Amino acid sequence: MIIVIDGPAGSGKSSTAKALASRCNLTFLDSGAIYRAIALLWLQSDRPDDKQFTNILSAVDITTHAVDHQFRVFLRGEDVSNQIRTPIVAGCVSDIAKKPFVREFVNQYMRDLVQQGAFIADGRDLGTAVFPNADLKFYMDASVEERARRRYQELTQSGSEDVKPSFEDVLENVRQRDHTDSHREMDPLKKADDAILIDTTSLSFEEQIQIMADHIEKQKHQP
């Protein structure tokens, strides 16, 4: 079984997917974390051009592990799960993610990974481009201000101690990501026709989890 959650930056996809993985006995797959790890690799490689980076990416060791339903990303054997949440990575990940060779790499990585069990994955185009035949699709959204507030809280809690972004910077970053993700030529952000819309602006975390868990349990019991 593969269940996908799509939506814009800061809509709560990752935290929701983690909670649903625990509640519904699924393995969490954080596609955004894989893209962020590749963006970090690009930064660590001194921002190479596409030809150079294609060669670097094809040779690098990127692995993922779920530990107690927590998705961890390893780059060259190093756990970079915290490094990939810094503002400098957030500022370039959309540009990296729109490159066709990067998307092909990540999409194939995930398709191979989900052959091994029952997964719940979050991203931006999973239900339209990566897993069009997913067993269940959700599209999460919220107001841009609410999404920026959530992202700001995430950055201040798990980001580098040396980096203290302002809320205004985070809000602008979310707006820029919305525009980039929605207007990219390859696999733009959009709701799949058969996805269930979950607007979380006025929902508590537990409320949205319960709504989505109910849908998942119904799906599990379908013949």
Q: What is the pLDDT of residue 125?
A: 86
Q: What is the pLDDT of residue 197?
A: 96
Residue extents of the structural domains in the chain: 2-203
Residue with tokens 């990940």: 93
Q: What is the pLDDT of residue 186?
A: 76
Question: Superfamily for 2-203?
Answer: P-loop containing nucleotide triphosphate hydrolases (3.40.50.300)
Q: Can you list the alpha helix ranges (DSSP code H) found in 114-204?
A: 144-158, 167-183
Q: What is the pLDDT of residue 69?
A: 60
Q: What is the pLDDT of residue 158?
A: 67
Q: What is the pLDDT of residue 46?
A: 96
Other Cβ atoms less than 10 A from the Cβ of 121: the count is 28
pTM to 2 decimal places: 0.74
CA angle (8 as vertex; 15, 142 as ends), nearest 5:
75
Residue-wise DSSP of 8-64: -TTSSHHHHHHHHHHHHT-EEEEHHHHHHHHHHHHHHTTS--HHHHHHHHHHS-EEE
For the chain (223 residues), the mean pLDDT of every run of 10, in chain order, is 92 89 90 94 97 96 80 93 93 92 94 88 90 96 92 76 79 91 83 95 93 94 78
Beta bridge partners of 46: none
Spatial CA neighbour of 14 closest among 200, 164, 163, 184:
200
